Structure formats: C-alpha cells, structure tokens
Amino acid sequence: MKIRSLLFALCLFGRAFGQSNAPEPVNPIPVTGICFDLATAIYLPVEAFAGSKNTRVKVGQSDKDGKFSLLLPRSATYLSFESRGYRTVTLPVQIVGWPSSKAAFGLVIIMGKPDSLPVQQTHQLLLNIDLPDIADMNCFLGPIGSNAGLPMVLTAHGNRVSDGGYIKFGTGRRHRPIMNFEGARPGPYRIFVSTSTGRVLVNEDITVGEGLTLMEVRAKELTEHPAPATPKEDSKAANAIPDSQTLYFEQSRYELNAQTKASLDSIAQRLLTLPGITAQLIGYTEDIGERKLNMTLSEYRAKTVANYLKQKGIPDNQITIDWKGPESAENPDYTKRDKGNNQRVTVAFVRK
C-alpha cells in the first residue's frame, strides 16, 4: 500500500514538473521553420519543446530536411530545439498582444556540434501581416529611442540585414505575409503602415526582446472619410513640418556612408507619416576642377539620396531633385579646411 501511494505521488510530481508530449489545447500559435548546421549548412532533424517556469512540452519535430511545423502554447516563455550530436538551442519567447487563430510565424534555427565553437543565435522579430486588401501599402519597421540609427548588422548566415525595413504590399494578395527580421537588436521599434493614398492603418511602438518576438500586425481601425481639419488643426500640422537637413559626402564621392543612411532612415520614417509633405533634394560640390564634372557629381549625389528614399517606400510624388554643383556654398568665404562643407545634399521639407 505504501509503495502504491509512493508511485502515485511520483506520478503527480512528474505531471506537474516533468515533460509532457500533449500540446496545450488553448489556441496554440502555428510556427514553421528550418534548422541546419552552421558549419556545413546541412539541414538537421530536430525535436522542438516549449515551456515556462514549471512545464516542458514537446510541440513538434522536423522532417528529414530540417523543416518543422509546431504549435506554440501562448503561455510559453521559451522554445528549445534538440538534435542528436548537437548542442541544444533554447531561445526566450515573447508574444506581443494576442495573435488571432489565423496568425502563423516562421523562424530559422542554427546549431553547432559540441566540439565546435558555440553558435551565437541572433534575435528574431517574427511578424504576421494581416492588412485589408484595399490599396497598395507602405510598411515601415524601424528602431526608435535608444535603438534609433543602429547600423547594418551581420547575421550568423552571412546575410546583411537592416535593423529597420521598408516593405511594399500590392493589391491582390492571396495570403498573409510572414516576415522574419533576423538580427533585430532588442529594444524599442515602431511599426507604421499607410496606404498609397496616405491613410494610416498601423502606428504602434513595440519592444523587441531577446530570442524570439512574435507579433501579428493588424489594422486597428479604418476611417473611410476623415473629418476635414479645422484652421487650428491646419496650423498645428504646418508647425509639424520637419526642419531642413544636410547630408555630407566625402570628396569626389557620391556613395552613402552609414551615418548618412541612418539620417535618411529617419527622414523616410517622417515622410511616411506625413504624406502631404515633399522632400526637396539639392546636390552640391566644391569649386575645384571642371564645372561640368562638378555638376555631374552633384547630380549623382542628389539622385543617390532620392533612390535610397524610394527604396524605403517613399513615393515619387514626395521627392523632388535638383543639383547646383559648386553654387550656393554654405560659406562663400570658406577656407581650404572648410571645403568639405559644400560636398553635400540639402533636404528641405515643404507642404504639397
């Protein structure tokens, strides 16, 4: 009798704190992905486990090609992946909001053998985009606050990935886009989505955590016919026009450096939130050398800035470009040391 009671107690203990193979029944979140060996790029078969403080549940496993589909419990605080002969990979999980039953996410897992150097896992922001198919849309995801202006990063796969991204969605979408921003640093980010006509669908700040951050991006409300602005509101809007900015270039060069790109990322974010504002770009050079070559260089500088903004989702009707070569120096009486001040593109903002 005592033995039977002891076995029963151990059974209860195992259920409370041990491993279970039954997934949680309450609206689990579908997650798909792949797993491979970082050193050889060979896909690996894995088993996936999810858990919180006192539970650990097997939630799925991959096929022989390393592709897996699993059901992530909403209460999970971590995901763990195991493959024979490889180090176990465990990543913290943060779920933003309450994704709908239709939401699904995709991720990438890399592994290394015990006798190899430890694999540094990148943080991943996993998005499921659920937007109405009413018009072409511009989506911006970018770092703000303490994260603002972060440079490009190198992921473990060797792909250069920006900490912020601009994406265009055309009409006629047949599925909900699934996106993985691999390499996003933990910290504050902003998600802003607007239609090609300027209607704002999403404007939300989130905090990306370590490991995996999952979020479903949804339009919270749609206003078909916004109320006309009052004169007082028009005055406030006019005051919201950004200040002019100056972007500097190296001598005889028109390529964008990291600092200039960071400034342009901020400019693009403002333009996406202000569809009634136009950015006027004017390129300049110093007065050394042939005027014809200087005019060409200032043209290239202005067009390079314009192309970068367009790649970030800014429409053509929000950009004007011009170039003036050595004209209109910042300081007409500049000395030799100051000549670099005229190797620039000015960005002025005006209402359409």
Strand-pair partners of 126: 180, 214
Q: Which two tokens stand for residue 51?
A: 């858990």
Is 3 inside any structural domain? no
**45 with 191, same domain?**
yes
CATH number, position 143: 2.60.40.1120
pLDDT in tens, 18-49: 444 444 446 899 999 999 898 888 999 999 99
Q: Which two tokens stand for residue 54?
A: 């006192």
The pLDDT of residue 89 is 95
Is 65 inside any structural domain? yes
* Range among 62-76, 82-96, 111-125, 299-313 with highest mean pLDDT value: 82-96
Is 141 inside any structural domain? yes
Q: Is it the case that residue 241 has pLDDT exceeding 90?
A: no
> Comparing C-alpha atoms, which of 245, 260, 148, 139 is closest to residue 193?
139
pLDDT in tens, 157-185: 444 444 445 566 666 655 677 888 777 78
CATH number, position 305: 3.30.1330.60
Is 10 inside any structural domain? no
Sheet containing strand 277-283, strands side by side: 245-248, 344-351, 277-283, 319-323
Instruction: Determine if residue 187 is left, alpha or beta; phi over 0 gives left, psi from -120 to 50 gives alpha, anything else beta.
Output: left
C-alpha distance from residue 250 to each of 20, 258, 262 (Å): 61, 12, 16
Q: Which of 152, 183, 218 is the last residue of a domain?
A: 218
The pLDDT of residue 170 is 63
**292 with 342, same domain?**
yes
Q: Which of 218, 245, 278 is the last residue of a domain?
A: 218
284 close to 325: Cβ distance less than 8 angstroms: yes
Residue recorded with tokens 């050394």: 288
Q: Is it the case that residue 268 has pLDDT exceeding 50?
A: yes
Instruction: For residues 311-333, give the mean pLDDT.
Output: 79
205 close to 222: Cβ distance less than 8 angstroms: no
* Range among 79-83, 226-230, 262-266, 315-319 with highest mean pLDDT value: 79-83
The pLDDT of residue 175 is 63
Is 284 inside any structural domain? yes
Strand-pair partners of 79: 50, 91
- Between 301 and 312, name the one with better pLDDT: 301
Q: Which range of residues forms the domain containing residue 133?
A: 20-218
The pLDDT of residue 164 is 47
- Where would I find the H helices in 201-277? 231-239, 258-273
151 close to 164: Cβ distance less than 8 angstroms: no
**211 with 239, same domain?**
no
The pLDDT of residue 20 is 44
The pLDDT of residue 325 is 86
The pLDDT of residue 46 is 95
Angle subtended at Cα 91 by Cα 85 and Cα 94, rounded to the nearest 5 degrees: 160
Q: Which of 169, 187, 218 is the last residue of a domain?
A: 218
Q: How many domains, the chain?
A: 2
Q: Is it the case that residue 305 has pLDDT exceeding 90?
A: yes
pLDDT in tens, 111-162: 999 998 888 888 888 888 888 777 777 777 777 766 665 554 545 444 444 4
Is 110 inside any structural domain? yes
**What b/e readout covers 177-200, taking b as 16+ CB neighbours within 10 angstroms?**
eebbbbbbbbbebbbbbbbbeebb
Q: Is it the case that residue 327 has pLDDT exceeding 90?
A: no
Q: Is it the case that residue 316 has pLDDT exceeding 50?
A: yes
CA atoms within 13 A on the CB side of 101: 3
**59 with 29, same domain?**
yes
